[in-house]
Amino acid sequence: MSSLSANRVAPAPSFAEAATTMRLVAMAPLLLYALLTQLDAFGNQISARLPIGTTELILAALLGTTLLTLLLPTTHGVRGSHTGARLIAAMFCWAVFSWTMSLHRTEGLDYLQKLATALLPALCLLAIVDTPARMRWVMLAIIGAGAVSAAIIVIESRTGTRLVSTSIAATTAGFEGVARSAGGSDQNPTTAAQMLLVSVLLAGGLLFAGERRWRVVLAGVVALGGVALVFTSARSALIGLMLGAGLIALSFRHRGFFPLMVLGGIVAIIAAIPFLPATLVDRFAAIGNFGMDPTLYRRITYLRIGGDLIQQSPVWGVGPGNYPLYYVTDAYRWMPGREIFPRELHNTYLDAATEYGLVGFALFAATLGYALRSAWRAAQARSPELARLGMAAVVALAGLMAACFFMPHKDLRYLWLLVAIAIQCGRLRTAEERRG
């Protein structure tokens, strides 16, 4: 009888080994996703003559391998709280409910597809990345993508050429007649700059948290990425960069050299002003003189229209993807700076409240807050490796959240990938505590 029982349970280790192998295989499409999300212009060129895009191929591979991983029994993996995944799922379910209550369902459905494309890889990461080492590789993929994009931005800004970007959004943007580079992306230059911001802050977070193995590479990415962000003239990304740098500096507040560090940073910023591109200086100067940048009038109008729409439908909002259709209605035609074609609300948080309603906004805010808290817990971990990863996630997510005050990024892929990274860092901390 005992030998028969032994024969019945003998296959179990092979299933566990298969699940471990499948999780390792699933890391390949996840790393490609992290890399090509910022370098989508390369992906678009690769798939230009294919019947399916590289993003779709990578997502199919990622979802397939993740599903196989979840179906195979295993004793490995991170067995912590599922609160983060539940919050993400609840927010998406509420967005679907808001869509059922909306007027423009066709446009809303297109938006939901984009949102799902951003959320699913994040959920896959929670199932795949089960060790700090694998989390580091995800971060390094994002950092590597940023290094390539930063190099392209510097070259394009100095030569006035376009190397890989082909979309209208990426190639037509400019300020005062000066073209702005989107690096390796086909997104608009400001969105590309905010993705680069994530790479730079992840690199800076790891570097100043004490990462030694990759410190030369990380220092190079911080330096090159910082210069590239200046060339993008993206005010929102630079504000996020300053916040991230401030958080890194605060991590040294108990050190004796902290006052000198702060003073040195202030002096460096002041000394760099004469060497900054005129376009960047003018864009910041325009904040006090709207006549220099008419788009600022448009941004104020975005907020006013969003506030009015919230009052009209406070609970479930106007529906995902519906704001641009309301923006062009006759009710708002005389507002300053309003254009005749649909535009998104350039503030992620007000945008979430407008389209998802206050309930959806609460779920969105709770998800971001939970992610930040999870990353901060990881930054306090006993394991130096996990503490460095947690610190990098805190700095990058906080910087991107600050930049999101100026862009409509509630469906930005890097935002949700970073949210998943932060949540998983917290779950890894919990797993560390359980092991004692």
Task: Tell me the pLDDT tens digit for each residue of 245-286.
Answer: 999 988 888 777 778 878 877 887 777 666 667 666 666 666
238's enclosing H/E stretch is helix 235-250
Is residue 2 domain-resident?
no
**Per-residue confidence at 43, pLDDT binned at 50, 70, 90?**
confident
Structural domain range at position 32: 16-73
- Of 24, 42, 73, the residue that ends a domain is 73
Could you tell me if 334 and 255 lie in one domain?
yes
Q: Are 367 and 84 in contact (CB under 8 A)?
A: yes
Q: Are 117 and 59 in contact (CB under 8 A)?
A: yes
pLDDT at 176 over 60: no
Q: So what's the pLDDT on residue 13?
A: 54
Could you tell me if 91 and 64 lie in one domain?
no
* pLDDT cut 70: percent of the chain above it: 87
> What pLDDT digit, counting tens, does each position of 300-309 carry?
899 999 999 9
Q: Which residues pair with 174 in a beta bridge?
A: 179
Mean pLDDT across the chain: 87
Could you tell me if 66 and 131 lie in one domain?
no
Rounded to an integer, the average pLDDT of 104-124 is: 95
Is residue 78 domain-resident?
no
Tokens read off for 224? 């090159």
Q: Which residue has the higher pLDDT, 286 or 422?
A: 422
Is residue 414 domain-resident?
yes
- Of 73, 93, 112, the residue that ends a domain is 73
Count structural domains, the chain: 2
Could you tell me if 121 and 54 lie in one domain?
no
Could you tell me if 253 and 399 lie in one domain?
yes
Is residue 52 domain-resident?
yes
Is residue 154 domain-resident?
yes
Could you tell me if 155 and 212 lie in one domain?
yes
Nearest CA among 290, 327, 322, 321 for reference residue 305 = 327
**Per-residue confidence at 2, pLDDT binned at 50, 70, 90?**
very low
- Of 52, 73, 94, the residue that ends a domain is 73
**Per-residue confidence at 8, pLDDT binned at 50, 70, 90?**
very low
Nearest CA among 246, 247, 229 for reference residue 238 = 229
